[in-house]
Amino acid sequence: MLYPVYVHLGDETHAHGVTIPDFPGCFSAADDWQDLPRMIQEAVELWCEGQAVTLPTPTSLDTLVNHPDYTGGVWLLITIDAAKLETKPVRLNISLPQGLVSEIDDYAKAHGATRSGFLAQAARQAMR
């Protein structure tokens, strides 16, 4: 899907900041323009992670272009790969040693995560 994103222009000491209006609270940044699509996709993936959300319909640029919150920057239309978004959790049954589950739970709790969130993050990291 093609979504509008607002780029707050950076300079030699500041990255280009990105606001994604259709995903409230979702933002990103990149030093280089060519990195923006990847960083935006990653930000939206994180925004959706672990939530049963319906993807919003993209807002038209006609609606956003004169909005007072968006001045001094530029608008881009970016394709968000919906296939990479985790919009619906899937329940699964796995078996792990009890001691390992306790360690996972302790680690996740200490880092403000859930068991499922920790396991998902560990799986992604292992597959990179």
Report the predicted TM-score, pTM, of the whole model to 2 decimal places.
0.65
Q: Which residue has the tokens 């979702």?
A: 26
Amino acid symbol at 114 = T
Using one digit for the tens of pLDDT, what is the confidence trace for 77-128?
Answer: 999 988 788 666 778 899 999 999 999 999 988 877 789 888 888 887 888 7
CB-neighbour burial class of residue 40 (10 A; exposed 0-12, middle 13-18, buried 19+): buried
Contact predicate 5/44, CB 8 Å: no
Hey, what amino acid is at 73? Answer: G
Residue (of 52, 61, 70) closest to 2 by Cα position: 61
